[in-house]
Chains A and B, each alone.
Chain A
């Protein structure tokens, strides 16, 4: 169960940065002046370490 869960956790940012992108392919709403598409990618890059920290936590590395 936990084994599956860590893959799912990792798949969230991975999917958000790849297959989800055609669905957020727009300029509005602008976030901090950035077009939405760019802001979306930047957001998921920033939160990826949190997901990976959690994965490492489940695997017992830290």
Chain B
């Protein structure tokens, strides 16, 4: 009975959102241009909604609370890195957008090809971008599975839940497209804010009286959770600094973010969003409150199970319709960003590998079909990763950043340093990726520093070194116009 009510509410919310998105986009015919970059006509408010929809995902909703539950203060990085990301990319947005506009670009590898004019580099970037985003899709899938299984009150097997999540995500992408996503985001954000106020304000108030009293109790029970560990401890201070730098500098370097930048109407739309969006990060405070509350109310969740944190509180202490409402908002948090993630990576494969490299689907219709096929393939790969490697949601996102952050030097140096060469960028990315993956796979973190950040530093050193040692014979095709 409880499960029927909770799952029923989730179904109503998801179907309602799909109908809302469909009605909103009905009058627009879908060319690949519309499908991938929303017709390049998003204004400040619409882009805000799209970006917020992409950036505030079930990672924010469940993953951050889960990490607060398990580790405490290291989770604070999640509030800081987005803000650092907006500050940094404020200075790169106009350059990326202008290249996109002038050359009618659709994807991240298009941008790399335009600036560096190298098939090798472009193909390398395409492959890394697609592979790096698989854990991010797995994250959404895993979160959706958590919402479904928790709402099912034990009636749904996790593997069945994950397969159901996969089907839901694919169906949602096919039905809505990127423009539909932006509309769906409006509904999603409204519901999520409601759910956040409940889990981050109502729960702490009801159980502890005030956020201050909540922290008094955390301080008494787990005093070490409210500060970072020693400088070079695992998840200590150096880990915090290197992780904020890695994820902040890589904040907009993924294919889904580049597509979002291209979808802006003009440069100032992007600048204004970079200025205002940090405010949105404040909602993270509520998530931290929810995570710490769950730690005190339902202690003992270990490993990936900690991602259920506040859902466990709701299941135990509130009526099933509350769980249905919160899990429904959460389900949208997984579905809406998945659309942008899957479409942007699928279009990288269909355009930059399929049609540019192998000549498949050069006409719009063929490419659209290939894009759709790749959405399914990416979804299956993400499902495979979920089956093979169960971990926390935050770990999945950090895995993605190890890869996509390595593209940042290609933009930053490409924009601000005229002597940047194609060889330098290529060598930098190769060294960065290999180093980050090797260290991460071996679980090595020198002085507690995040492996991805070590890779990024090596990437920059190699880029600068190679560019200085082997200067380009011909000037770069696109000097930075800033």
B340-366 residues at the A interface, CB under 8 angstroms: none
B285→A48 contact, CB < 8 A: no
Complex CA distance for A46 and B80, rounded to whole angstroms: 11
Collect the chain B residues with CB atoms within 8 Å of residue A14's CB.
Answer: 84, 87-88, 248
Task: Pick from A25, A38, A61: contact of B268, CB below 8 A.
Answer: A61
**Nearest opposing residue in chain A for B280, CB measure:** A45
Whole-angstrom distance from the CB of B61 to the nearest CB of chain A?
A: 18
Whole-angstrom distance from the CB of A25 to the nearest CB of chain B?
A: 5
A18→B244 contact, CB < 8 A: yes
Query: Which residues of B are in contact with A by a Cβ distance under 8 Å?
Result: 73, 76, 79-81, 83-84, 86-88, 90-91, 210-213, 215-216, 219, 223, 226-228, 231, 237-238, 240-241, 244-245, 248, 268, 271, 274-276, 278-279, 281-282, 285, 288
A21→B275 contact, CB < 8 A: no
Collect the chain B residues with CB atoms within 8 Å of residue A41's CB.
Answer: 76, 79-80
Known: A37-B76, A53-B275. A42 touches B285 (CB 8 A): yes
Collect the chain B residues with CB atoms within 8 Å of residue A30's CB.
Answer: 212, 215
Secondary structure of the B side of the interface? helix
Task: Pick from B86, B227, B248: contact of A37, CB below 8 A.
Answer: B227
Q: Chain A: how many interface residues by the 8 Å CB criterion? A: 33
Contact with B along A33-62 (1 / 0, CB 8 A): 111011001101110110111011000011
Complex CA distance for A26 and B281, rounded to whole angstroms: 22
Whole-angstrom distance from the CB of A19 to the nearest CB of chain B?
A: 6
Complex CA distance for A60 and B430, rounded to whole angstroms: 39
Collect the chain B residues with CB atoms within 8 Å of residue A27's CB.
Answer: 219, 223, 226-227
Collect the chain B residues with CB atoms within 8 Å of residue A48's CB.
Answer: 83, 86-87, 278
Complex CA distance for A42 and B288, rounded to whole angstroms: 12
Whole-angstrom distance from the CB of A55 to the nearest CB of chain B?
A: 7
Complex CA distance for A56 and B213, rounded to whole angstroms: 40
**Nearest opposing residue in chain B for A6, CB measure:** B91
Collect the chain A residues with CB atoms within 8 Å of residue B248's CB.
Answer: 14, 18
Task: Pick from A25, A42, A52, A53: contact of B79, CB below 8 A.
Answer: A42
**Nearest opposing residue in chain B for A16, CB measure:** B80
Known: A22-B228, A22-B231. A38 touches B90 (CB 8 A): no
B240→A22 contact, CB < 8 A: yes
Collect the chain A residues with CB atoms within 8 Å of residue B84's CB.
Answer: 14, 17-18
**Nearest opposing residue in chain B for A49, CB measure:** B275
**Nearest opposing residue in chain B for A14, CB measure:** B87
A18→B245 contact, CB < 8 A: yes
Whole-angstrom distance from the CB of B447 to the nearest CB of chain A?
A: 12
Query: Which residues of A are in contact with B by a Cβ distance under 8 Å?
Result: 7, 10, 13-14, 17-19, 21-22, 25-27, 30, 32-35, 37-38, 41-42, 44-46, 48-49, 51-53, 55-56, 61-62
Whole-angstrom distance from the CB of B113 to the nearest CB of chain A?
A: 29
Complex CA distance for A7 and B119, rounded to whole angstroms: 34
Known: A14-B84, A17-B244, A41-B79. A25 touches B215 (CB 8 A): no
Whole-angstrom distance from the CB of A15 to the nearest CB of chain B?
A: 9
Collect the chain B residues with CB atoms within 8 Å of residue A53's CB.
Answer: 275
Complex CA distance for A9 and B120, rounded to whole angstroms: 38
Collect the chain A residues with CB atoms within 8 Å of residue B215's CB.
Answer: 30, 33-35
Instruction: Return 21 A-B CB contacts under 8 Å, by A number.
Output: A17-B84, A19-B241, A21-B80, A22-B240, A27-B219, A27-B223, A30-B212, A33-B210, A34-B212, A35-B215, A35-B219, A37-B226, A38-B285, A38-B288, A45-B80, A45-B83, A48-B86, A49-B275, A52-B86, A52-B90, A53-B275
